[in-house]
Structure 1
């Protein structure tokens, strides 16, 4: 379960960043000019979305040795008890303290990452709902805030 929470938290952090960045930075094609997340999703060509889905699927296959169902993942984790959720052996900058990834510093960083990921999951949901209700990008809405009646009687 930790693996899923860490992955979803990381995706939510990237989602928050992406929602804020897409308001100001766009690719040159007219399909990529929409600053609203829900509208931008619908404007992107289907082939580009399939590229994203295929990449995510291949990453999942590679991460778990082809074991992508719940029934196959449990024996996979039983065979690899040294593996901790969310770690993929990628500590190039020695942030976790080298090969001793079970240090106190590593445990603290994992706790911070999980808490930050939970906050990002709530934030990305709030950002999407806000842009759908007000039909304005996040930063623009914050800078030009005016109370509105969303639900008219």
Structure 2
């Protein structure tokens, strides 16, 4: 980490190590067999703690906490929610981008090319938008003045109205 590593967890098989740190908040995954960095994701806020939910590095979720009551207020299963009837997915998605618009609205980008919009008072997404290229979402941004959401993968940037399914490429 550039400044400080705050949490380290080793997967059960010992092949991967997940570490979180500060400035800029990020999570890194190291492959112990290859002695290399597998991936790195920058985040909007610091990670207090995290849990590994599977035998590999693919499942580690979004959990929402209320600091005033020191308790979890929600758990979002973004991977299963991103799979729709139209999805052609070969593996379970992981989170590749995350952006808050307000205290209650959040956009999640997945490794399989979907963007999910959540109202944090519900565990189901308000909207699931598929980029249809199967590439990981690199960035999600809210453009409040035009009521748009901008999402990008390595091939395209999509601008779409958060209240409809219509998009502009």
Tell me which interval the TM-score lies in, with the shorter structure as reference length: under 0.3
TM-score of the superposed pair, with normalisation by structure 2: 0.19
Higher relative contact order (CA 8 A, sep 6+): 1
Specify which structure has the higher proportion of strand: 2
